[in-house]
Amino acid sequence: MKKRLVMIGNGMAGVRTVEEILKKDAQSFDITIIGDENHPNYNRIMLSNVLQGKTTVNEININDWDWYKENNINLLTGEKVIKIDRENKVVITDQKKQISYDELIIATGSSAFILPIPGSDLEGVIGFRTIEDTEKMMETAEMYKKAVVIGGGLLGLEAARGLIDRGMDVHVVHIMPTLMEQQLDAAAANLLRKDLEAQGMKFLMEKQTAEICGETRVESLKFTDGTSVDCDLVVMAVGIRPNVAIAKEAGLEVNRAIVVNDHMVTTDDFIYAVGECAEHRGIAYGLVAPLYEQGIALANHITGKEGIGYQGSILSTQLKVAGCDLFSGGKIHEDDQTEAIIVHDQFAKKYKKILITDNKIVGIVLYGDASDGNRLFNMMKKQADISEYTSTSVLSSADASGEEDLVATMSAEDTVCGCNGVTKGTIVQSILEQGLTTFEQVKGCTKAGGSCGKCKPMVESILAHTLGDSFDASAQKMGMCSCTELTRDEVVAQILEKGLKTPKEVRNVLGFAHEEGCSKCRPALNYYMRMLLPEEYEDDKASRFVNEKMEGNIQKDGTFSVIPRMYGGTTTAEDLIRIGEVAKKYNVPLVKVTGASRIGLYGVKKEDVPQMWEDLGMRSGYAYSKSLRNVKSCVGSRFCRFGTQDSLGLGIKLEQAIEMVDTPHKMKMGITGCPRNCAEVLTKDYGVVCVENGYQIYFGGNGGTEVRECDLLTTVKTEEEVITLAKAYVQLYREHANYGERTAPWVERVGVEWVKETLLKEKNIKLLAERFERAKGTYQEAWSSILQDEKKKEMYQVVRN
């Protein structure tokens, strides 16, 4: 008869424990997991990446809903256990369910610590711990502009970076004189602060918050020194508090957390605790690597495979903030028992320090180049004797042992992926037993490299070392989605070679794992087919995102924005009157001049969008699309005394020439009438600077999360050349970029010189521009087909002319 195994909590440590149990003995347990969040198991480490806009909530799921079904796990979400009845071996939930257990795992994790100060209960004061916290921060950034993060530790800095990326003005308040004082010494912390300040982060150091002020919502913070700062959002990142109330009420021994032995057993032999809610040898850990080690120890105990149990962990830290590369582990400050080797290159902003006791590494602090972090950390954990190393060689793998030698000398217990607690032994075993040959396969099987990604080079080295001569370096690629291992280039080549005509045919012939595709490949294949076969392929609107289907951007409350096209930001009295009448008719709550110099109608109900476009009788501004959004321009020589050319007129012509045509991602262009650059063209996908002798052409810029300044392509003499080069550039991008890839990363990937070399050949320019025009013709035909009466046709002709 199977044992009834119940787990309270559906977080990373608990579910990792269940994964290990299933690996060791999948037949002996009926498993029930109870989680109070309405989500499957997800990676909390990646919440900062969600906030920074680098990934989505769905993409941070560790185990999706199907995983629970496939493993016959009874999952209860959005439900909280309120009592453990130890005498009857029953847990009781807030929905009055009584669930019996033979063995019980408490994996309740921890909660964000909220400072007990006046005003901490105001609206706009939150922690940073869950998907809900992250979504609230993202929603707040849409409505408000000033944020304060209390806490200059790892989590606080990641939260601050994410809010900056969301457009907020952010102050970080920290009670100590330096940042991340538990992981960095003063020298490394000062380098970090300078880098973060350069990214727009502001710091209020040695400040203690006395009160959060506001009537119903936070308005400001007051400090004990009498100063204050205005804000609309306060994020508490001052620590965590283990969730132990239910264990304490059940009579289990609890100090700071639930007391456990080396096998994660509590003071009740049938109840275990794992993760942030557990206290082992007086320590409650908050990082994922030790929690996963606890899970393995507990799984061994529950399945009868007794070992030495959990012996505690030496901790290491990496920061996931753009542009900052740091690693620390063990001790960070010198004392009477340690000697330090320090290299501090202030010009290159690199800092390396290792602390040594009795010829063994006991501490590591790296900033600016953390590539040796894992190597040094594993040497520290193994207590390797470094007496034969020179001061320089111990700090650098390049001078010590090569990477292959390093992999060869690593033990099976050495951690490779700190985020997911994956050891070299686990990776090697999976490669050999599962026949893995690529990094993507290793990641899918072991989760190594599946979080921050910094361990990818090491994983690939282990793969190469394990496979030896059978390792195929050319096979180390990433498929365009989870349905296929084929890359974008391979899929496109196969479409042309095999004469495939529909996305469904592509998926069937090329052996995609899912016949209907996925949310990633459906829109991508629809784009590739239309790009490759503009005159043959009929656009599949069902494969487009909701924004494109509705011709409006969906807002956070489910309403839409409707933004008509206004070439160069110009309009007429008739259009303004029409927009006003439509806004009044549909009770539009917000009418706003957008950053792209257009008038936007926000808060439109979904059911009103089609009729609103009908009433407006205006072209869409494509503010929602993967295509040219707008061409930003100044007034140029028409009015400005500094203008050298008619940048406004050229901007309108350029917008009309490029509009409508789908591109891999959104595009923004700009034309400025003189080198003073009022139109900010040097961070556009395609930028034009008007000068006395013509037009300077720039490409590949981005003004978003990670700013990239344009590269200069050439200088041309006429407006016609500007427009022709734009068509050729857009078509080159259309034909060679991955779907969803902006021009800035595309240019970095294919190489600036390759783009220049291609676009500076007259023959290429002509062919690319011609192919763009052929594609443009199909979009014009599609637009013409929806014009239903003569009045609209006349208006269309006026717009086009």
**What are the residue ranges spanned by the domains of the chain?**
3-110+242-302, 125-238, 404-472, 488-544, 628-801
pLDDT score, position 598: 83
What is the pLDDT averaged over residues 174-201?
A: 92
Rounded mean pLDDT, 194-223 = 94
In the sheet with 360-367, reading across from the earlier edge strand, the strands are 316-318, 326-330, 360-367, 350-357, 339-345
Beta strands 169-174; 146-150: pairing state: parallel
pLDDT of 435: 86
**Same topology between domain 3-110+242-302 and domain 125-238:** yes
Asked if residues 475 and 438 have their Cβ atoms less than 8 Å apart, the reply is: yes
Dihedral Cα 731, 735, 737, 740, nearest 10 deg: 80
Quick one: pLDDT at residue 207? 96
Stretch 415-442: mean pLDDT = 83
| Res. 284: pLDDT tops 90 | yes
Q: How far apart are CA 154 and CA 786, in angstroms?
A: 54
pLDDT category of residue 191 using cuts at 50, 70 and 90: very high
Encoded tokens for 320: 């996931």
Over residues 399-422, the mean pLDDT reads: 66
Read off the pLDDT band of 797 (50, 70, 90).
very low
Tell me how far apart the alpha carbons of residues 530 and 88 are, in angstroms, rounded to a whole number.
64
Q: Does 445 show up as a binding residue in the annotation?
A: no
pLDDT, one tens digit per residue, over 8-35 is 999 999 999 999 999 899 899 999 999 9
Please name the fold of domain 628-801: Sulfite Reductase Hemoprotein; domain 1 (3.30.413)
Query: Percent of the chain, pLDDT > 90?
Result: 49
Task: List pLDDT tens digits, range 762-796.
Answer: 999 999 999 999 988 887 665 555 444 444 334 33
The first and second tokens of residue 73, run together, are 């796990």
Write out pLDDT tens, residues 290-339.
888 899 999 999 999 878 899 998 777 776 555 578 889 889 999 989 99
Is 640 annotated for ligand binding?
A: yes
pLDDT at position 799 over 50: no
Question: Over the stretch 416-427, which tens digit does the pLDDT of each residue have?
Answer: 887 677 888 889
- Between 3.40.50.1100, 3.20.20.450, 3.30.56.10, 3.50.50.60, what CATH number should domain 3-110+242-302 receive? 3.50.50.60
User: Which fold would CATH assign to domain 125-238?
Assistant: FAD/NAD(P)-binding domain (3.50.50)
Reported as a single tens digit per residue, the pLDDT across 37-50 is 999 999 888 888 88
Q: Give 119-129 pLDDT, tens digit per residue.
A: 999 999 999 99
- What is the tens place of the pLDDT at every residue in 484-530? 878 888 888 888 888 888 888 888 888 887 777 777 788 889 889 98
* Sign of the C-alpha dihedral computed for residues 674, 680, 682 and 684 taken in this order: negative
Amino acid 159 reads: A
Average pLDDT for the chain: 86
Q: Establish how many alpha carbons lie within 13 A of residue 215's alpha carbon, considering only the half-sphere containing its beta carbon.
A: 0
Give the pLDDT score at 777: 87
| Helical (H) or strand (E) element with 188 | helix 186-198
pLDDT at 534 over 60: yes
Residue 441 pLDDT: 83
- In degrees, to the nearest 5, what angle opens at C-alpha 129 toward C-alphas 127 and 133? 65
Closest CA to 547 of 560, 556, 538: 560
User: DSSP H helical segments within 44-153, as ranges?
Assistant: 47-51, 65-70, 131-143
**Of residues 500, 472, 496, 497, the one with CA closest to residue 485:** 472
Backbone torsion region of residue 797, taken as left when φ is above 0, otherwise alpha when ψ lies between -120 and 50, otherwise beta: alpha
The pLDDT tens digits for 707-757 are 899 999 999 999 999 999 999 999 999 999 988 889 998 998 889 999 999
**What pLDDT, on a 0 to 100 scale, did the predictor assign at position 406?**
65
Tell me the mean pLDDT in the region 637-663.
90
Mean pLDDT of 354-373: 88
- How many of the other CB atoms lie within 10 Å of CB of 241? 16
DSSP-assigned letters across all residues of 19-53: HHHHHH-SSSEEEEEE-SSSS-SB-GGGHHHHHTT
Distances (CA, A) of 99 to 7, 90, 399: 11, 5, 59
Closest among 344, 397, 394, 335 to 366, alpha carbons compared = 344
Residue 634 labeled ligand binder: yes
From 77-86, 346-355, 385-394, 690-699, the region with the lowest mean pLDDT: 385-394
Q: What residues form DSSP beta bridges with 340? A: 355
Residues 336-351 have a mean pLDDT of 87
Share of the chain above pLDDT 70, in %: 91
Return the higher-pLDDT residue of 392 and 269. 269
**Residue in this structure with the two tokens 């021009």, named with its chain if needed:** 743
Closest Cα to residue 264, out of 231, 232, 230, 312?
312
Q: Is the Cβ–Cβ distance between 318 and 455 less than 8 Å? A: no
Q: Which secondary structure element, helix H or strand E, spans residue 363, and what is its range?
A: strand 360-367
Q: Give pLDDT tens digits for 237-252.
A: 998 999 999 999 999 9
Statement: residue 287 has pLDDT above 60: yes
pTM for the full predicted model: 0.61
Looking at domain 404-472, which of 3.90.45.10, 1.10.10.1100, 1.10.3720.10, 1.10.357.10 is its CATH number? Answer: 1.10.10.1100
Question: 679-682 — which CB contacts under 8 Å span 24+ positions?
Answer: 679/632, 679/633, 679/634, 679/647, 680/632, 681/632, 681/710, 682/709, 682/710
pLDDT at 801 over 50: no
